[in-house]
Chains A and B, each alone.
Chain A
Amino acid sequence: MIAVLTQAVRPTARTIAWRPVAGVAAGLVLLSVLLVEEDRAQMVMAWLGAAVTASLLVAAIRDRASRLLAAVPTPLSARRLLRLAIVAPVPVAVLVLVVGLRQPDGPLPLLGDVTALTLAGLGVASWMADERGVAWGAGLPLAWVAGAQFGNSSAGAVGDALLWWHTDSLVVGAIAAGCVLLGARR
């Protein structure tokens, strides 16, 4: 399996849409430069960066040739993992460098947020049909962070749940990882 995936790295990398990755990276750099003097904007940058990076990573597992490749013995989950491993380093590194290092608590909480949101999106994607699942999975991080931003004044369980990806990223990540594993074994 590893040998097959190693051979597949170059052709897979060529099929990945790199423009959105470059766009997100450039957008984060530009925003961080524009808002470098604005301390209040650091939380906004962290939440926005976490949402778009997680959404980008989930969207990256979409493979236009997935129906064609369904017949090959390499499982869908392995091919998705490979795509994720190829794409992830660039946007995550940019996020950590331009946003994470400026956070009061350092980049680790931000990485936790991105991981939780990404795994949640992947969990959705792994339990739904290919194209639709990826679309809903990629939309989840955006919707969740937007809900937290604009709905965090809600009292009680709803307000808390909107912030779980941030306040309980480990728990969310663990549950979502379980969903991904179970979904991959369906």
Chain B
Amino acid sequence: MSAGAALAVEVPVQASAPRWRVVRALARQEARRHLRSPMLPLGLAGFVYLAWVTRTSDDWSGIEYGGMPGAGVTLFLGVSLLVASSFRRERAGLVEDAPTGETTRATGRLLGAGVLVLVVAAATAVQVMVMRAGGGVDLGDEPGRTLHAHHTLPEVLQPVCVALVAVALGALLGRRVQQRAATTIALFAFWYLTAGITWLFQAAPVRPWSIVMVHPVEVRVGPHSADPLTFPEEWLLSAPDAYEPFWGRLVVSPELATAHDMWLIGLACVLVAFALPRRTRGRLLVVGGMVAAVAVIAQYAVAP
């Protein structure tokens, strides 16, 4: 029997296999590829380094608390690049002859990328456990200061939600952008700005649209000349400095952090939708868009 005839026999067998089995097989294959890539240990090394820098730095009070989500910047970039590489294979001409549809393949690729989200979740869990093992972290300036601050659950979940955005963005650019260099440069610029330079997006009007939200939020409570002893003693305070020449109250808002996590999930759905074939993206686009819109409004509503 010739090779062509053998293929003609095999294709219907593959096509009639239950869809979930195909998706599972693809996901397993993709996950294995991701775990073997050198990009992942490189991203993890960057994460460990940045987490260590924020832990040992005494540049300002609260650097470790506020720097928790941003420490994952190299990990997020690595996740995006890996997923982009995975979805880029969808652009190879051979896929047109594949016995499974693009939606099935995309589902397999996305499920395979789930292993990367698990890696980010595990890394974040270790980071938070190290902080907790040390009795909490430094936050605030005298007289409103604590040495035992702990992140709330929505804050801890933020890096995981950001990882979902990283997967979605990688899928979108890998699938839709032709040039690999353009994808790499765009992903670098995106993560450099949004997760690397987090203070750029923490002003009140743009904060709900940010990717990495820094907690706690600072609320202005008095001028430079104010006496901090007149503020309620349970407040955490931020002393005036060169960039913010006023007394501020540091507010940790689990409600705001929850709404921001929802925004990230909605955004990830919208981005993934554009990586899928046109006929299958509708529901995800609508649901993701609605979740993102409600979450942004909620953030403005609950912001301290």
Instruction: Check: B73 CB closer than 8 A to any chain A CB.
Output: yes
User: Can you name the residue of chain A whose Cβ is closest to the Cβ of B50?
Assistant: A150
Interface string of A91-127 (1 = CB under 8 A from B): 0000000000000000000000000000000000000
- Out of B49, B180, B189, B200, name the residue touching A135 (CB < 8 Å): B180
Main secondary structure of the interface of B (DSSP, over half): helix
Contact B46 A150 (CB under 8 A): yes
In the bound assembly, the distance between CA atoms of A35 and B188 in angstroms comes to 19
Contact A17 B179 (CB under 8 A): yes
- Out of A27, A38, A48, A139, name the residue touching B184 (CB < 8 Å): A139
- Out of B49, B180, B181, name the residue touching A151 (CB < 8 Å): B49
Contact A44 B200 (CB under 8 A): yes
Contact A59 B243 (CB under 8 A): no
How many residues from A make CB contacts under 8 Å with B? 28
Contact A23 B200 (CB under 8 A): no
Q: Which residues of B contact A153 (CB under 8 A)?
A: 53, 57
Instruction: Check: B280 CB closer than 8 A to any chain A CB.
Output: no
Main secondary structure of the interface of A (DSSP, over half): helix
- Out of A44, A51, A55, name the residue touching B181 (CB < 8 Å): A55
Q: Which residues of A contact B182 (CB under 8 A)?
A: 17, 19-20, 23
User: Can you name the residue of chain B whose Cβ is closest to the Cβ of A40?
Assistant: B243
Contact B179 A19 (CB under 8 A): yes
Q: Which residues of A contact B189 (CB under 8 A)?
A: 27, 48, 52
User: Can you name the residue of chain A whose Cβ is closest to the Cβ of B193?
Assistant: A48
In the bound assembly, the distance between CA atoms of A35 and B46 in angstroms comes to 27
Q: Which residues of B contact A138 (CB under 8 A)?
A: 181, 184-185
In the bound assembly, the distance between CA atoms of A20 and B178 in angstroms comes to 10
Contact A38 B200 (CB under 8 A): yes
Contact A142 B200 (CB under 8 A): no
Q: Supply 19 A–B pairs (Cβ within 8 Å), ascending by A.
A: A23-B182, A23-B186, A27-B186, A40-B243, A44-B200, A52-B185, A59-B179, A59-B185, A62-B181, A135-B180, A135-B181, A138-B181, A138-B185, A146-B188, A146-B192, A146-B196, A149-B196, A150-B46, A150-B49
Residues of B whose CB lies within 8 Å of any CB of A are: 46, 49-50, 53, 57, 73-74, 178-182, 184-186, 188-189, 192-193, 196-197, 199-200, 243
